[in-house]
C-alpha cells in the first residue's frame, strides 16, 4: 500500500475481538520496533508484550482503554540507555525514541490487517509497580493491538479533524 494511503487508513480502534495475533505477525511487529531509529542508535526501548490472561486482567484493572484487546504492547524507555544531550542540561531522547518505535508498530500493524490504539491515559507508575518494571525503566504508553470488532469499531469523528496548513505550518 502507498504510504499515505496506509497512514490515512489507520485509526484509533476502540473495539477488538478475541482473535489472537498470529505468531508471524507478532514477529513482524517486533521487527518493526527493532529497526526504529533512536538517538545515537542507543535503542532504549523496552517492550513488554502483555498476552497472558493474568497480564491482560492486570492491565485492564488500571486502564479503561484496552478495548477488549488480547495483546497489549507496553512500551517503556530504559533511562540508563537513552541518549542524554551534552548541549542542553536534562534533555534526553527517550520519549522521542519510544514515539518512533510505537509509530513503527502502529503502522506495521495496519499493513498486516491489524488495528491499534495509542494509549497514555493510565497511571504509568502503577503499571510499573504491577509488572515489576526495573527502576531504570519508565513506562510511556500502551498499545492494544488486534483484529477490530467490525460491528463496533469505527473511526471517531476526531479521526477526520485536521488543522489548516496555515495554522500548522510557517515558512521562515
Ligand atoms: C500521545 C497519544 C495519546 C493517546 N492516548 C489515548 C488514550 O489514552 N485513549 C484513547 O482512547 N485514545 C488515545 N489516543 C488516540 C487519539 O485520541 C487519536 O489518535 C486522535 O483522536 C486522532 O484519531 P485517530 O487516531 O482515529 O486518527 C492517543 C493518541 C496519541 C498520539
Domain locations in the chain as residue ranges? 3-168
pLDDT of residue 127: 98
> Measuring from atom 27 of ligand 1, which residue has the nearest CA?
159
- Pocket probe for ligand 1: among 118, 153, 160, 162, the residue whose CB has the most ligand atoms within 8 Å is 118
Cα–Cα distances in angstroms (integers) from residue 87 to residues 38, 78, 90, 137, in the given order: 18, 21, 9, 23
* Residue carrying the nine cell digits 495496519: 110
What predicted TM-score, i.e. pTM, was given to this entire model? 0.97
Residues of the chain with pLDDT below 70 are none
CA 107 to ligand 1 centroid distance, Å: 14
Q: Are 110 and 116 in contact (CB under 8 A)?
A: yes
Cβ(99) – ligand 1 distance below 6 Å: no
| One CATH from 3.40.109.10, 3.30.110.40, 1.10.10.10, 3.90.180.10 for 3-168 | 3.40.109.10
Q: Are 13 and 117 in contact (CB under 8 A)?
A: yes
Amino acid at each position: 500500500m502507498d504510504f499515505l494511503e496506509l497512514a490515512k487508513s489507520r485509526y484509533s480502534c476502540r473495539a477488538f475481538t478475541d482473535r489472537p495475533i498470529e505468531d508471524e505477525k507478532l514477529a513482524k511487529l517486533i521487527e518493526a520496533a527493532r529497526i526504529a531509529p533512536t538517538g545515537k542508535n542507543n535503542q532504549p526501548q523496552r517492550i513488554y508484550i502483555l498476552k497472558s490472561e493474568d497480564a491482560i486482567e492486570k492491565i485492564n484493572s488500571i486502564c479503561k482503554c484496552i478495548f477488549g484487546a488480547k495483546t497489549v504492547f507496553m512500551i517503556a524507555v530504559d533511562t540508563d540507555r537513552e541518549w542524554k544531550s551534552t548541549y542542553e542540561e536534562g534533555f534526553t531522547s527517550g520519549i522521542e525514541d519510544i514515539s518512533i518505535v510505537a509509530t513503527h508498530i502502529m503502522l506495521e500493524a495496519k499493513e498486516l490487517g491489524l488495528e491499534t490504539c495509542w494509549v497514555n491515559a493510565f497511571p504509568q507508575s502503577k503499571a510499573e509497580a504491577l509488572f515489576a518494571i526495573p527502576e531504570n525503566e519508565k513506562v510511556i504508553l500502551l498499545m492494544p493491538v488486534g483484529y477490530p470488532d467490525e460491528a463496533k469499531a469505527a473511526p471517531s469523528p476526531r479521526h477526520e479533524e485536521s488543522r489548516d496548513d496555515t495554522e500548522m505550518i510557517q515558512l521562515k
